[in-house]
Structure 1
Amino acid sequence: MLKLELKRIFSKKINVFAIGLALILAVIFSGFAVTSNRYVDENGNASTGIMATRKLTDNRRAWKGTLTEDELGKVIEQNKNAVTQPSKENAIYGTTLQPIDDIRSFIISVLTPDSEYDESVLNQITEENIQEFYDTYHKNMEKMAEEYGKTSVQKKYLEKKYNEIKLPVEYESYSSWDTMIMYVETYSIILAIIVGFICAGIFADDFQTKADAVFFSTKYGRTKAVKTKILAGVVTTVMIYCMGITLLSVICFGIMGTSGMNTPYQMYQAYSIYIMSYGQYYLLTVVCGFIASMLAAVVSMLIAAKMHTISVAVCIPFFLYCLLPFIGRALSGYTTLFNLIPTILTNVQASVKVPLIYQIGNCVFRQIPLVMVMYTVMAIALLPFIYKSFRRYGNK
């Protein structure tokens, strides 16, 4: 029965078009991703071609390794020398500043925990300051824990998380991962909308084709057949999401490379409470996107099963992931509520920067894991309601 249901889904022309569109968009997004990084050569010539990211990685390879205080001192010295070099600005950047850009950003991030990005900080650092760099980092962690921890339990939790950061930091250029996280988030929204559209049709099609009477009159029409439809929706979601994300990832990482997979995210956001490498960060983003797609599929199936039409159901994913963020910004007085909306699943990049935590009793949860659990449980919990709503049709 499952094979038959899947055959119905994938033989429908509009669904084939939607899946084809998803795959085409994966290729288009790949094109945008692989050409989004800018590389400047030793002559000051800038390029953004498909090999720019690999060239950028090679340009920064000399700084790969452990960033001890001595290494950071060399970065500061190189940065100061670049300012005094009497040559073209682009040439200076390509040979002197570009190789240390990531490390410069890391130093600035550590030294300005509550301030805007300020490059002038680099010119104010003395040799003594840089030798105490990681001590300063630890002190700032304590300040951040005090500032964002509203209770003693929360403060201890934040301190524990910050203590998990391995110092000194291990560095490798992470440009490809940083780029991909941005594009995979956007692409996951598109997949959620497409999945919602396709899954809504699983329950609405029988009513549109007037085949509902035949379906419900069969032996398993109100039992096993309904469960099969739900299972088909879940399987379809998994297949489409995996195909799209795999295609996007294979193309992009195949061209840009995977340098920086083990680089800690703290290289970019020094005080993030998500202690993870860029590879883990990408996996987190992909998993959140999958939960978003599954939620879109389940809610769309539920609406279609209740209303017997696809028109309203297909709007649900668009509302959840496109309109709801704007509503959240407009209703700024309800920040706590809107920090837990499904949009967080497709906006991981913004959420990991903020040390936002929630406390229930003596248990403390970070925003993203809490949202992931909430909407995974919700998606599973809604499945029986789909079953009950659809099988009751026509019963008095």
Structure 2
Amino acid sequence: MVRFEIKKIFSRAGGKLALLLLFIILVIVSVFAVRYVDYTDENGNNTYGFQAVRLLRERKSEWSGYLTEDVFAAVIKENAAIEATPEAKSKDFHENNKAYAKKQGFSDIRDIINSSLSSFREYNYYLIDGANVDDSKYVYQRRISTLQEWLNSDEAKDRYSASQKEFFLEKYQELDTPLYYEDADGWKALLEYSQTIIMLTMLILSFLVCGIFSGEYQLNADAVFFSTAEGRRKGIRAKILAGLVMITIVYWGMVIIYSLVVLGILGTSGWNCPIQTSLYGWKSLYNITFFEDYLFTIIGGYIGNLAILFAEMLLSVITRSAVISITFPFVILFLPSFVGGIDRLSEFLGLFPDQLLQIGVAVRLFNTYEIGSKVFGALPILFISYPIIVCLMIPIIYQIYRKSEIR
């Protein structure tokens, strides 16, 4: 029966079109992810593809290891030497590119130094150009002190409670330093575009699951379905299981193929490096590696897909309408972008299921919640609450559909 329900979905023209769209999405997003890495040669020309990945990795591997004070000092000196060259001082963009080519090997470390020299809410790419060797002593300390300064500023002093501020500082202080660094461009590219794959997969799946239950009403087949011997029992269970199986196979198929393509081309080096060795992860509360970030991203994406799509199925059971139910995923995805600027709603929106579809963004946010005397980040709450919600929705769907009256 489960196979029959799945066959019904994909035998329609809409089901076949959905598979085609998923394939197109996979190809396009994979191409963008692979082109995330580019290399500038000594003549100032940019290249992409396998050659670019190999050359850039060779340059960055020279700086692999623990980012100690001596490493930061060496980067500041090297950067100053390059800035003194005629290419760097030229007003010609192509000449500037030649100077940039010499900095590619330590570009990630350059970003870290710039981040430490910038105020907490800002980033200035050129601050390292005015830095001196003494600044290398305070890179890690400034990560904590700039956070502390911001928490005490007018912008943030009333935004968080004393417990939350203490929680932020504790998380920052728990980071093991010096950080271990390797080229992790493959993981950065993978994570950068993973939320695109996850969100688009969910939207395509929403067109497929909306008709699992409401389709019987649309085809006026509900009288036949509910009058059969096992229609209100095994038939409903088959529909629920068909939705679960389809979501699982399509989601993991997309994620696994995408991951294999990107990591197969860009490489897996740097998997064990802290995300704080990257520009986007420097300020994160979560002391995790790129590989752990990836696991959180794909598992969170799966839970988020299940939560949103099962909620859509529940809505289709209640309203008996595929049109109404299919609007739910779009509302969940786009509502936060319209009301996200309202500070009073930020905590509420931080627990929306769309956050599970974009863990790469969530790990950079300071969404925390106080439960009693304890403070928790948003991620543990999301990963615990939504599997429970999904498990609760399944029997609710079953009971409501089972008690449906024939009209």
Fold equivalence (TM over 0.5): yes
Q: How does 1:25-104 map to 2 (within 5 A)?
A: 25-49=25-49, 51-87=51-87, 88-95=95-102, 97-104=103-110
Quote how far apart the aligned CAs of 1:154 are: 3.0
CA contact (8 A) 2:144 2:169 kept: no
Decide whether the 8 Å contact of 2:195 with 2:357 is kept in 1: yes
Distance 1:10 1:395, change over 3 A: closer
Residue in 2 that maps onto 1:23: 23
CA contact (8 A) 1:57 1:259 kept: no
Q: Deviations over 1:114-149 (max 9, x none)?
A: 142123432343333323444444545665677689
- The alignment-based identity, stated in percent, is 30
Q: TM-score, normalised by structure 2?
A: 0.89
* Alpha-carbon distance, 1:50 to partner: 5.2
Task: Identify which of 333, 336, 339 aligns with 1:325.
Answer: 336
Contact 1:197 1:313 in 2 (8 A): no
Aligned equivalents of 2:266, 2:362: Cα separation in 1: 25
| Whole-angstrom CA distance in 2 between matches of 1:211 and 1:237 | 24
Residue equivalent to 1:129: 135
Tell me the secondary structure at the aligned position of residue 271 of structure 1: coil
Establish whether residue 184 from structure 1 lines up as the match of residue 190 from structure 2: no
- Once the 2 structures are TM-superposed, how far is the Cα of residue 35 of structure 1 from its aligned partner? 1.6
Separation in structure 1 between the aligned mates of residue 289 and residue 183 of structure 2, nearest angstrom: 12
1:51, 1:255 within 8 Å by CA — same for their partners in 2? no
Q: Return the offset for 1:106.
A: 0.9
* Residues 248 and 171 of structure 1: CA distance in aligned 2, closer, same or farther (over 3 Å): same
Distance 1:11 1:5 in 2: 10
* TM superposition score normalised by structure 1: 0.91
Change (3 A) 1:33 1:135: closer
Paired residues of 2:195 and 2:358 also in contact (CA < 8 A)? yes
1: distance between equivalents of 2:2 and 2:57?
A: 47
1:338 to 329, 339, 349: 349
> What does the per-residue CA deviation read over 1:74-125, in whole Å, with 9 as the maximum and x for residues that have no partner?
1010010111012332222112x11111001111222324142123432343
Deviation at 1:3? Answer: 2.9
AA aligned opposite 1:91: K
User: Structure 1: any 5+ residue segments left out of the alignment?
Assistant: none
Q: SS at 2:123's partner residue?
A: coil
**Does structure 1 residue 307 correspond to structure 2 residue 319?**
yes
- Consecutive unaligned residues in structure 2, runs of 5 or more: 88-94
Confirm whether residue 258 of structure 1 aligns to residue 268 of structure 2: yes
Segments of 4+ in structure 1 off by > 6 A?
144-149
SS in 2 for 1:353: coil
One-letter code aligned to 2:379: I
Please tell me whether residue 236 in structure 1 is matched to residue 218 in structure 2: no
The 3 A distance-change label for structure 1 pair 335 and 139 is closer
> Is this contact kept in 2: 1:177–1:279, CA < 8 A?
yes
**Secondary structure of 1:346's aligned partner:** helix
- Go from structure 1 to structure 2 and tell me whether the alpha carbon gap of 1:354 and 1:113 turns closer, same or farther (over 3 Å shift): farther
The CA RMSD measured in Å over matched residues stands at 2.4
Question: Matched residues in 2 for 1:300 and 1:54: separation?
Answer: 45
1:7 and 2:19 are equivalent in the alignment: no
Matched, 1:280 2:292: yes
1:391 to 384, 391, 402: 402
How many residues matched?
394
